[in-house]
């Protein structure tokens, strides 16, 4: 299978083509746009309840974040219970605490029902503080967890060779192989009559009282309901102002010591590191993640891997780096995911996004919420995760500014100081964004000397893209659209490519 970058993730060997033969002129009950864990789980759930569904995937199943996750299954989240109590109140925070348990239960019951071999295992998580500030943070986390009834127990030892000041053990967590899991869900979905159309970009929708017409790269498709499981939907929507794209980095190493703990580990750095073991092709690999940053806001994404590798080698007895890859997720403005009706639409278009670093959990939970909203008209999480909620929390206007004007200016200031006097200034493997006369350009020089020249203005809402050297992609800092060196769209919300001027070879 392919992914949305130049690097290969640890999961990637698992799926080949999975499309079905489809008649796109027939009517569907629900079309689900996006073939990651959110889309596939939701499609299966709806198909199970008798609906006729189709998954539309722009590339291939698992192409996006599901193919690049580190696949921790947690019932505690990036937004802590303490923060949730402060911003949403105790009762809502309790419901939020239930959501993780519900999601893991859904995964377990799918595994049981369809007899899925996806390396699922229950684990304990260890969360630990390395300095005085982190100790206070940990205390806060534990106090919040106690108030919502979530078990976290102080311990004197952790099963990782890291000097710590205080630590807690959190039982009942889990891990799995995300691509084996969604591949099996796809097979179950197809068995039940579901349709999967790969390499089909959904460009727009038109909502009517009793149906929706999707405009796609393969023509119009009609359905009673549409679910955008693509992080952020195409077009411009409230969600583009309430979610920010982030990049996250992961690496997998062979270990010198086979007796390494199989529990899950998390420090409290900002951004935090996390790690676990997974057996791939008979070998135990340590998967470590971290070094997150806002998309398009790192001058050298390769350094994120270097920092992560240094951290791992400082603490763990590892040998070879087998895999290194990155992926994208979205930070919601108020810390809770957005799952439900797409703002500004009537009742037939649904969305699920803003999962922070808990995509496997909230992607899975989305399947239950969206199923319940479509089939029963209501969900116990409807209000809590409503995409239309506007929480007037501190920092709202800063967040919006950061996602629009600030992101735009940041990039503009960075790139327009660049002056390309001659193409020979660009070294092989380098890329630059520059202005020439009144237009802005993105230029990449391959190691063999071939230049790729594109217009650098993102077709979604006209921000300027930035180079991601680690994944050989042009990334838009505003809403996270990404393109390869030829300008081809890798991820939305844009539905279009960057304008290509030419590739050429200069001696």
- Which of 58/61 has CB closer to ligand FES? 58
Six-digit token string for 122 = 């229950």
| Contact between 489 and ligand FES per CB under 6 A | no
- Which of 361/478 has CB closer to ligand FES? 478
| Contact between 458 and ligand FES per CB under 6 A | yes
Residues in the chain: 507
The CA-to-CA distance between both ends of the chain, in Å, stands at 35
- Which of 32/407 has CB closer to ligand FES? 407
| CB-count burial class (<10 Å; 0-12, 13-18, 19+) for 505 | exposed
Separation between Cα atoms, residue 124 and residue 9, nearest integer Å = 24
| Contact between 265 and ligand FES per CB under 6 A | no
Separation between Cα atoms, residue 153 and residue 325, nearest integer Å = 33
CB of 417 to ligand FES, least distance (A): 21
| Contact between 295 and ligand FES per CB under 6 A | no
| Contact between 280 and ligand FES per CB under 6 A | no
Residue of 382, 370, 365, 290 whose CA lies nearest to 329: 290
User: What residues contact residue 110 under an 8 Å CB cut-off, 6+ apart?
Assistant: 41, 44, 116, 181, 185, 188
Separation between Cα atoms, residue 262 and residue 260, nearest integer Å = 6
| Contact between 155 and ligand FES per CB under 6 A | no
- Which of 445/466 has CB closer to ligand FES? 466
CB of 464 to ligand FES, least distance (A): 9
Candidate list 410, 494, 495, 498; residue touching ligand FES; CB under 6 A:
494
CB distance 108 to 364 below 8 Å: no
CB distance 74 to 173 below 8 Å: yes
CB of 433 to ligand FES, least distance (A): 13
Six-digit token string for 199 = 């390499």
| Contact between 37 and ligand FES per CB under 6 A | no
User: What residues contact residue 26 under an 8 Å CB cut-off, 6+ apart?
Assistant: none
CB of 294 to ligand FES, least distance (A): 13
Residue window 399-438: x/- pattern of binding to ligand FES, with contact defined by CB under 6 A: ----------------------------------------
Candidate list 463, 485, 490, 498; residue touching ligand FES; CB under 6 A:
463
Candidate list 370, 478, 490, 498; residue touching ligand FES; CB under 6 A:
478
Helix-then-strand count for the chain, H and E: 10, 25
Q: What are phi and psi of 127, to 5 degrees?
A: -115, 125
- CA-CA-CA-CA torsion for 286, 8, 41, 337, nearest 10 degrees? 80
| Contact between 481 and ligand FES per CB under 6 A | yes
Stretch that binds ligand FES, among 75-83, 92-100, 134-142, 475-483 (CB under 6 A): 475-483
Stretch that binds ligand FES, among 23-31, 379-387, 388-396, 476-484 (CB under 6 A): 476-484
| Contact between 93 and ligand FES per CB under 6 A | no
- Which of 142/458 has CB closer to ligand FES? 458
- Which of 118/458 has CB closer to ligand FES? 458
**E strands within 354-481?**
431-436, 439-445, 450-455, 466-468, 473-475
- Which of 242/367 has CB closer to ligand FES? 242
Stretch that binds ligand FES, among 51-59, 116-124, 179-187, 457-465 (CB under 6 A): 457-465
Candidate list 68, 289, 335, 493; residue touching ligand FES; CB under 6 A:
493
* Paired strand residues for 331: 244
Count CA within 13 A, CB hemisphere, residue 282: 0
Stretch that binds ligand FES, among 85-93, 136-144, 219-227, 474-482 (CB under 6 A): 474-482
- Which of 84/463 has CB closer to ligand FES? 463
Stretch that binds ligand FES, among 77-85, 372-380, 419-427, 478-486 (CB under 6 A): 478-486
CB of 461 to ligand FES, least distance (A): 4
**Residue whose entry in the numeric block shows the structure tokens 């899975």:** 364
CB of 405 to ligand FES, least distance (A): 12
Residue of 394, 501, 386, 495 whose CA lies nearest to 442: 501
CB of 212 to ligand FES, least distance (A): 23
| Contact between 479 and ligand FES per CB under 6 A | yes
| Contact between 454 and ligand FES per CB under 6 A | no
| CB-count burial class (<10 Å; 0-12, 13-18, 19+) for 163 | exposed
Six-digit token string for 26 = 């027939």
Count CA within 13 A, CB hemisphere, residue 401: 7
3-class secondary structure, 233: coil
| Contact between 67 and ligand FES per CB under 6 A | no
| Contact between 58 and ligand FES per CB under 6 A | no
Binding site residues, ligand FES, CB under 6 A:
458, 460-461, 463, 476, 478-481, 493-494
């Amino acid at each position: 299978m392919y992914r949305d970058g130049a690097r290969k993730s640890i999961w990637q060997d698992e799926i080949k083509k999975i499309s079905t033969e489809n008649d796109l002129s027939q009517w569907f009950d629900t079309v689900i746009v996006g073939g990651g864990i959110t889309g596939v789980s939701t499609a299966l759930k709806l198909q199970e309840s008798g609906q006729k569904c189709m998954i539309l995937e722009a590339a291939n199943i698992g192409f996006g974040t599901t193919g690049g996750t580190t696949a921790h299954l947690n019932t505690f989240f990036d937004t802590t219970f303490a923060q949730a109590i402060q911003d949403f109140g105790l009762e809502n925070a309790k419901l939020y605490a239930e959501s993780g348990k519900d999601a893991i239960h859904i995964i377990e019951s799918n595994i049981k029902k369809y007899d899925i071999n996806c390396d699922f295992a229950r684990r304990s998580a260890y969360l630990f503080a390395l300095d005085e500030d982190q100790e206070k943070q940990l205390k806060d986390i534990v106090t919040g967890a106690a108030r919502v009834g979530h078990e976290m127990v102080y311990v004197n030892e952790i099963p990782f060779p890291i000097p710590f000041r205080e630590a807690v053990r959190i039982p009942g967590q889990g891990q799995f192989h995300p691509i084996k899991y969604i591949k099996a869900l796809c097979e179950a979905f197809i068995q039940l009559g579901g349709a999967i159309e790969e390499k089909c970009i959904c460009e727009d929708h038109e909502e009517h009282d009793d149906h929706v017409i999707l405009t796609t790269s393969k023509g119009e498709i009609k359905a009673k309901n549409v679910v955008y499981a693509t992080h952020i939907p195409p077009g411009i929507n409230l969600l583009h102002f309430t979610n920010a794209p982030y990049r996250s980095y992961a690496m997998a190493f062979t270990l010198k010591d086979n007796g390494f703990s199989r529990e899950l580990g998390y420090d409290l750095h900002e951004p935090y590191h996390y790690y676990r073991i997974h057996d791939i092709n008979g070998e135990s690999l340590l998967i470590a993640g971290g070094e997150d940053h806002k998309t398009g806001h790192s001058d050298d994404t390769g350094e994120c891997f270097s920092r992560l590798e240094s951290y791992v080698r400082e603490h763990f007895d590892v040998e070879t780096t087998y895999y290194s890859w990155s992926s994208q997720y979205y930070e919601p403005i108020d810390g809770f995911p957005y799952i439900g009706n797409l703002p500004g639409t009537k009742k037939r278009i649904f969305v699920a996004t803003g999962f922070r670093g808990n995509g496997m959990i909230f992607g899975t939970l989305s399947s239950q919420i969206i199923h319940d909203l479509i089939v029963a008209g209501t969900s116990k999480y409807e209000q809590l995760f409503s995409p239309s909620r506007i929480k007037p929390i501190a920092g709202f206007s800063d967040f919006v500014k950061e996602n629009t004007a600030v992101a735009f200016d940041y990039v503009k200031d960075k790139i327009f100081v660049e002056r390309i006097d001659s193409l020979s200034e660009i070294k092989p493997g380098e890329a630059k964004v520059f202005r020439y006369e009144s237009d802005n350009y993105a230029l990449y020089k391959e190691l063999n000397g071939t230049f790729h020249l594109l217009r650098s203005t993102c077709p979604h809402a006209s921000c300027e893209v930035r180079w991601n050297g680690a994944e050989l992609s042009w990334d838009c800092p505003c809403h996270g659209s990404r393109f390869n060196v030829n300008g081809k769209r890798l991820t939305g919300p844009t539905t279009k490519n960057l304008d290509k001027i030419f590739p050429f070879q200069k001696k």
